[in-house]
Structure 1
Amino acid sequence: MSRKLIFWGIFLAFGLAAYDPLADLLERKDYATLFQMSRDAVIIKETARNYYYLAAAYTGIRRHRLAAKAYLLALDKPDLNHEMGTNIANYFENREDADTALLVYQKLFQKFPKEKVATAQKIVDNFSKNGKYQEVVEYFIGLLDDEDPATYNPYAYFVGLGYYQLGNLAEAENYFQKALKADCREIDLLLKQGELKVRKKEWQTGLTLISGGLQLGGILFKPEADTYKYLGQAYAGVEDRRNAADNLRKAIAAGNREEEVYLQYALNALQIRDFQGAIVVLEPRAETFAKSPDFQYYLGNAYDNLGQPAMAIQYYQKALEVGYRNSAYIRQRINVLSGNEE
């Protein structure tokens, strides 16, 4: 037996883990030496660790078929740890092999109970990236146990999320509520359930849930445009116009381009007399919504209140051209403003 193999035998037998030469070689990207030493290590003892580093060596020298095989062999070894398993799944995701990555996550889900929630989220993400929302429902609904309410945190949330993406909002709300009752406090759970409440015009409940989700997210959490949209609508529903305008403006700044959101923002901004703010937000989209009577009217109204008759008349006339419903009022304002100009 060579001296190198004797060294490896001693190293593996006594588990001298204070210094791991394979980890050191991987960190230094010395793939040639890593390949030689990890291959020798596998010959001596087939462990997850040894196969893991052999796979890393194969990856480094771009022999991906052999890397994949070694990673999968590592999965079934008793010394596999969760970090190794997650890195293996990441390898397959980076190779755009979603099916194998999912298989890895499912094995980790069964093997590491303490990390089940984190792994479950990875399974949801994997399904969702590929539009497999029905699979999300089917996978996690089988884990729910009415006699053990703890299973509803967070699995009922994942079931609800699947239904939400499928457009089955009634079932989504049902499972979201079950998750909340089980004390699940996922940020997206609170935000999505809040959204569903706002859609049903349950303003205060929606406001409480969305605000709770944002508070849970903290200052580093970056809400999506829809979160601001529904929060703004909830504030409008409870007649808090200032917060309504502020959040609807944030929805627009975050990328929302729905006409409805612009109109809701404008209505609330005008009601709190933020005329300049309304112009700043609306005018860049005036051409996009040139056929929207309300959009053109709100711009005219903002300029009217700022004492700028020429611009007010311009937008009032555009509102008339595209069929603003209260044409008599606009004509009256145009006449008044035209008289002021003279």
Structure 2
Amino acid sequence: MIDKLEFIIALARERHFGHAAEACGVSQPTFSAGIKQLEDTMGVLLVERGSRFRGFTPEGERVLDWARRIVGDTRAMRQEIDALKHGLSGHIRLAAIPTALAMMSMITTPYRAQHPDVRFTIWSRNSIEVLGMLENLEIDAGLTYLDNEPLGRVQTVPLYSEQYRLLASSDSPLGDRDTVTWAEVGQVPLCLLTPDMQNRRIIEGLLRQAGSEVAPTLESDSIIVLFAHVRTGKWASVMPAKLAEALGLTEKVRAIPIVEPEVSHSIGLVVPQRNPLTPLINALVNEAKQLAPILNAAVPSGPVVAELLKPKARADG
């Protein structure tokens, strides 16, 4: 039964019978037969059939919801038994919004110091993709916004508030200012994240409130691309304060607080709404909870961020 439930989850993720079969490591006939067996067991149609995948029936949507819970709980049970036998080991899959990627190492580095047999895979995704991957059991946890768009059924650990800075050359028109307003930022040629990113939607909203339309001179889904352009001294961008410090400012590039209004959004860890959590994810949540007071104490300066990013052994181990 569990393998058939895995089929349903894969189909929801891939939206294509052939791709879902490939993801499950079976032939398409085997995959289709498995879905049919599940339908026979339930006594209802689960999938709207046609020449291609058209969606789930209402009954199929409910079975999908239960499949995610049952498969997630089954994986958690196996992992917990394995941890009792061998200690914490295994693979944690994570996804983070681009503006939070640099902060991920503040969780994973002390975690691995405590549990050296755990390995990580980290993807850069937009906020909608982070939640979708978590729902479809493609990742174990994510780092994303907590307070700007609906999260669905997740547990959250708030980590820090994202505050905004104009990154600009010191010799640019606004480069010598102690603060700038959002209205003034709207008059500067900007390079920004692509529109599918929640950070971009936040910035667009703030600029429109200030009476400016958003017309960036460059867009990218990579913070590194934006930062590299800003460092040339010929471009400006809007980035979270902690991210700007973590990436490292130069003498020529300044991070100028943006006011009128001063805005912040909560960034945090999201994990499945499951009790109990898997041992691996429970340990991850504990690391996040220990990090949160440090990050919330103040917006750290560059040396403080650099110190937080240093690999170090935990004294409480």
Classify the TM-score, shorter chain.
under 0.3
Give the TM-score normalised by the residue count of structure 1.
Answer: 0.23
* Larger gyration radius, structure 1 or structure 2: 1
Instruction: Indicate the structure with greater strand content.
Output: 2
Q: Which has the higher contact order (CA 8 A, sep 6+)?
A: 2
Give the TM-score normalised by the residue count of structure 2.
Answer: 0.25
